[in-house]
Structure 1
Amino acid sequence: MITDTRWYWAAGFAVLMLMIYLLQPILPPFLIGILLAYLGDPAVVRLEARGVPRMAGVVVVFAAVTGIFAVLLLILIPLLINEIGILRDSIPAMVVWFNQTALPWFESRLNVDVSSFRLETVTDTIRENLGKTGGIVGIILQQATRSTMALLTWLVNLAMIPVVAFYLMRDWKEIMQRIRGLLPRQHEGLAVSLVRDCDEVLSSFIRGQLLVMLCLGVIYSLGLWLIGLELALLIGMVAGLASIVPYLGFVVGVGAALIAAIFQFGDVFHLVAVVAVFSLGQVIESTLLVPLLVGDRIGLHPVAVIFAVLAGGQLFGFVGVLLALPIAAVLMVLVRYMLGRYKDSSAYRDPEEDILTTGDGQAVAESEAPIP
């Protein structure tokens, strides 16, 4: 008796979704660990190709990533806290300019009442939310230390991330081989092909686009720092992160940097310099970063990325955000495969064309004969 295995796959998928929903509190460190292992595996494979044992390669990659991350935190966090303090102190002048200069200009040009847009109370509200220097760290610690159990859970989850990442990176090849060994024999070739396509999509986005975003953040921050902008690091990193959507980082960065330059310098030279920094970043992105880091691989469309992240967060919270991109990549590959199957089926193709292309040579010759 032939059994329809589709019901088993559907039941397995339903159970998986239920387990994700029920186990949301404990999944983040495992998902982040899987992500880090996935990102680090290519470097380990390259070291293996040069004769380095896998365990030694894992130790080297893990130590390098940990060291770089620690150095960046030690350097960036104090700088960002300092720039947040500068931004907090600049807000009153910005609000006064908006109320006394920008709004009257719009009111005189557009002949509309803009009194409802005045920001009389926004100064105190924003300054309270930003708090004093180090206030953000205090808020995080306050939330984490609300109770002893919450503090212990937070510390355990934080400590589990590198542990999970290390062991998964060490055994990544073996895990992939065991998963492949469990695939149905008659569908192994198709499943492996689809998984490779999924990996191509994910690698082009995660390993490519995220590196492009990081490089753009560094370029923007360095360029704004060279022209003397006080909020260079904050604006540059925000613009780099916003570059997940093409041109959004450029628009956000230029807008924020121009406003900051107006209040700090108030001259045309620095405004032109800001535009030049972001224009140079766009040129470097299109001519160097994207061809080098992303190449011609097909990644996720920016709109699909935004929708996937928002939908995952709405359905499963932070766990959904972590799972959004892998699931979106899988769905994209499956949709592409089903679309190809559909175009090869009789439901799409013209039956008369099939007769002409699959008939005898005479039919084909007649179809290719010139029209008299």
Structure 2
Amino acid sequence: MSIIDILRDWTNRVFGHIEGLVLLGLITICLVVLLTVGFYLAPVIAGLVVAFALHGVVKQLILWRIPRLVAIGGVLVLFIGAIIALFIVILPLVWAQLQNLVTQIPQLVSALQAILTEFAINYPQLVPDAFLESLNVTAQAQFTNLGGQIVQQIVQQLPNLVWFLIFLLLVPISLFFFLKDHKQMVEYLRRVLPKNRPLLDEVGRETIAQMGSYIRGKLLEILIVGGVCYIVFSLFGLQFAALLSLLVGLSVIIPFVGAAVVTVPVVIVALVQFGWTWDFFFVVIAYAIIQVLDGNVLVPLLFTKANDLHPVVIIVAVLAFGGLWGIWGVFFAIPLATFIRAVINAWPTKISVDGDDPDSPPQPQSVSAE
């Protein structure tokens, strides 16, 4: 058998199945929509994301014999209350600390240079003179006008304030209808798909379960890590505790890379404030303990299937999807990687089960609307 015959046979087996063509078509449509009008659909997409996170709460309330509309209304009120608390309590504190940081950047840079110079004098074998001179030149060039650059960037983003307010208004509305009418939406999707769809059902079950658990787990991880860091930083009296805690909490969105990047400002602020004292080392040790507990205790508790992905796969997914869709791509890198894995794992299984009669596949249990 020639190579052409082998390729033709493989193409017929893989792409000759109607489900495979439907799945490829759905993926293509989703990609085209996201790449063309994804920005304008951001409120709807955000509402869908939050619905994945809160659907389990609504389902549990219904199991407790609370009427469906009452459960949805209660969850929606809690969500809106959390958003209001974010803007009234947390963001003003973070904004005040950010303004304070911007005004203190020249002093922070000077203090950091003095500390590093003293360290180089005491330990010349560890810090070459050329490195120290290069560091001083870079610091003067990059950080002297950093405060003005930050303010300028913030001012440039002010025209987007109207779009942001519209976004905040439409997200709760989208969330309400996704929670209220998700059964009708799922039923409509079933009607337009083939009746015999074992591949689609298997991929759909794994993707929906993974997406919901991942979003809920990631939001909980952000709250827990950020909250614990704020408590620890406040106990040590670390400056900019709220701002740094917010950065640490949001850093968990980016696996591996986020924790490494956010460590730099934490260490710099602690070093400038405390110098080479025991307080500095206590802050760094406490922060390291938080990161270790997050990676080895909290993440295994909150996530299950995500842990099956190889770290290299996760890093590649973060880089690839982050490059395509920015922060949304980074946030959903692991679920999207899991979706691709589900397609790869399910596709040959279904082909081998279906044999030579792709029109008569076994009928599995359909995806539950709940």
What is the TM-score normalised by the length of structure 1? 0.74
Match of 2:87 among 41, 49, 73: 73
Determine the structure 2 residue equivalent to 1:42.
56
From 87, 111, 130, the counterpart of 1:113: 130
* Number of the residue aligned with 1:332: 341
Q: Which amino acid aligns with 1:224?
A: F
Distance 1:82 1:110 in 2: 36
Deviation at 1:315, TM superposition (A): 3.8
Q: Which amino acid aligns with 2:245?
A: G
Whole-Å separation in 2 of the counterparts to 1:9 and 1:261 = 51
Mapping for residues 283-298 of structure 1, pairs under 5 Å: 284-285=293-294, 289-294=298-303, 298=307
* C-alpha contact (below 8 Å) 2:62/2:68 kept by paired residues: yes
| Preserved contact between residue 24 and residue 316 of structure 1 (Cα < 8 Å) | no
| Correspondence for 1:144 among 145, 149, 160 | 160
Distance 1:342 1:301, change over 3 A: farther
Tell whether 2:112 aligns with 1:85: no
Partner AA of 1:333 in structure 2: A
Give distance in 1, aligned partners of 2:301 and 2:333: 26
1:107/1:113 contact within 8 Å kept? no
Within 1, Cα distance between the matches of 2:253 and 2:309?
10
Q: 1:306 to 1:66 in 2, by over 3 A?
A: farther
**SS of residue matched to 1:185:** coil
Kindly tell me: are residues 277 and 324 of structure 1, through their superposed partners in 2, closer, same or farther at Cα, counting changes over 3 Å?
Answer: closer
Q: How many equivalent pairs are there?
A: 333
**Matched residue, 1:274:** 283
Question: 1:225 deviation in Å?
Answer: 0.6
- CA distance in 2 between counterparts of 1:275 and 1:26 reads 42
Structure 2 CA distance for partners of 1:320 and 1:65, relative to 1, 3 Å: same
Amino acid aligned to 2:178: L
- Counterpart contact for 1:204–1:298, Cα < 8 Å: no
Match of 1:61 in 2: 75
Write the distance in 2 (CA, Å) between the matches of 1:139 and 1:236: 26
Q: In the alignment, what sits opposite 2:177?
A: 167
* 1:214 match: 223
Write out per-residue CA displacement over residues 80-113 of structure 1, whole angstroms, 9 at most, x where no aligned residue.
1122123223322332245455368297645463
What does residue 353 of structure 1 align with?
Answer: none
Name 1:205's counterpart in structure 2.
Answer: 214
For residue 37 of structure 1, report the CA deviation from its aligned partner: 1.2
Question: Which residues of structure 2 form unaligned runs of 5+?
Answer: 1-15, 354-370
| Residue equivalent to 2:144 | 124
Partner Cα separation in structure 2 for residue 107 and residue 342 of structure 1: 67
Q: Partner letter of residue 44 of structure 1?
A: V
Q: Give the CA deviation at 1:194.
A: 2.1
| Alpha-carbon RMSD | 3.7
Give CA-to-partner distance per residue, 1:227-276, whole Å, 9 cap, x none: 11112122222122223456656555554333222322335231232134
SS of the residue corresponding to residue 146 of structure 2 reads helix
- For the Cα contact (< 8 Å) 1:227–1:270, is it kept in 2? yes
TM-score for both structures, normalised by structure 2: 0.74
Residue in structure 2 matching 1:177, options 162, 174, 187: 187
Structure 1 stretch 3-12 or stretch 164-173: which is displaced more?
3-12
Q: Quick one: which amino acid aligns to residue 96 of structure 2?
A: N
Residue deviations 1:186-220, cap 9 Å, x none? 22x44222222123332343221332232111101
Percent of residue pairs identical: 24
Query: Do residues 156 (structure 1) and 170 (structure 2) align?
Result: no
Contact 1:144 1:154 in 2 (8 A): yes
CA distance in 1: counterparts of 2:259 and 2:320, whole angstroms: 25
